[in-house]
Amino acid sequence: MKAALVGTDGTLLHEARRATGRERGPDAVVETILAFAADLRAHGQEHFGESAVAAGVAVPGIVDAGKGIAVYAANLGWRDVPLRTLLGERLGGIPVALGHDVRTGGLAEGRIGAGRGADRFLFVPLGTGIAGAIGIAGAIEAGAHGYAGEIGHIVVRPDGPDCGCGQRGCLETLASASAVTRAWAAACGDPGADAADCAKAVESGDPAAIGVWRNAVDALAVGLVTALTLLDPRTLIIGGGLAEAGETLFTPLRAAVEERVTFQKLPHIVPAALGDTAGCLGAGLLAWDLLATEVSA
């Protein structure tokens, strides 16, 4: 896990990383978070002469931000962890904000990263899976039940591969970094080859790689056009491992999206700018937002 002390203007004052300890079970992860936060607070006291005035934390899975509860996270074995209360107790009663990892990263990309200045944006990280964060007027739309933005489970090929969610042909089974890795490993016969190797092979003109890449880009364009038809974002921010391919991804992706739209307005399609610090910075923004609301209330 990644953590940071963040200044009022979003500046990173101090960054740290620590293993989650998840091999020791769900409670160990919670304890790691609490201890990590307490250590960070102590670091602030020692090096900046004052301790943090609020805390933000972003976690995977299903999050009830209003109640401050991590409702469910399959990879951590969590159910109904009252993280906000636990952190508040460990940090001497300072206000604590809880957010969902992708939506929190999206908040940072939209406000201080690649979408800076855009009133409406969509952040789509292409990693192990595909998720999304819908940015509206400086905040992220979570939906009525905390599921908004799950673009990775838009069905783009009804007869496509089975997805862990129970549907078939979901976008993330075709265009995530993992999906490209699987397709390229099978196509080139090297079980160790991954999506980055595929991108390199595309750049050197390998026809098999170009085929794998085109399939992923086409699927991605179909999913993105569905999303932009619904949301009309000004900026579409693409992040995650697959976006590291740069123009090898963005040039054909922009063309594939443009080819498919008819009446819809084309958004700016740009790479994410904050990399893997987006979650940290976003958690910091959530904490500052919380203070701003408390002051105005």
Q: Which of residues 38-77 bind Zn ion (CB under 5 A)?
A: none
Q: Find where tokens 């160790």 sit.
A: 192
Q: How far is the CB of 216 from Zn ion (least distance, A)?
A: 16
Strand order in the sheet with 78-81: 62-64, 69-73, 78-81
Whichever of 68 and 223 has its CB closer to Zn ion, that residue is 223
Q: Find where tokens 């069905």 sit.
A: 155
Stretch of residues binding Zn ion (CB under 5 A), selected from 20-28, 72-80, 135-143, 151-159: 151-159
Helices (H), 166-231: 172-175, 177-188, 195-203, 207-231
Q: Which residues contact 248 (CB under 8 A, 6 or more apart)?
A: 199, 202, 203, 213
Q: How far is the CB of 83 from Zn ion (least distance, A)?
A: 26
Residue closest to 248 by CA, chosen among 296, 214, 279: 214
Q: What is the DSSP letter of 6?
A: E
* Position among 90, 103, 111, 153 found at the interface with Zn ion (CB under 5 A): 153
* Position among 28, 34, 38, 165 found at the interface with Zn ion (CB under 5 A): 165
What is the distance of C-alpha 183 from the center of its chain? 23
Stretch of residues binding Zn ion (CB under 5 A), selected from 117-125, 159-167, 231-239, 268-276: 159-167
Q: How far is the CB of 163 from Zn ion (least distance, A)?
A: 3
Whichever of 163 and 236 has its CB closer to Zn ion, that residue is 163
Q: Total residues contacting Zn ion (rule CB under 5 A)?
A: 5
Whichever of 181 and 235 has its CB closer to Zn ion, that residue is 181
Stretch of residues binding Zn ion (CB under 5 A), selected from 14-22, 94-102, 158-166, 270-278: 158-166
Q: Which helix (H) or strand (E) holds 38?
A: helix 26-48
Query: What letter represents residue 82's amino acid?
Result: P
Q: How far is the CB of 173 from Zn ion (least distance, A)?
A: 7
Q: How far is the CB of 162 from Zn ion (least distance, A)?
A: 9
Q: Which of residues 78-137 bind Zn ion (CB under 5 A)?
A: none
Q: How big is the chain, counted in residues? A: 297
The contact mask relative to Zn ion for 269-288 (x = CB under 5 A, - = no) is --------------------
Q: Is 163 in the site for Zn ion (CB under 5 A)?
A: yes
Q: Determine the Cα–Cα distance for residues 297 and 51; give it in Å rounded to an integer.
A: 23
Q: Determine the Cα–Cα distance for residues 262 and 243; give it in Å rounded to an integer.
A: 25
For binding to Zn ion (CB under 5 A), which residues are involved?
A: 153, 163, 165, 167, 170
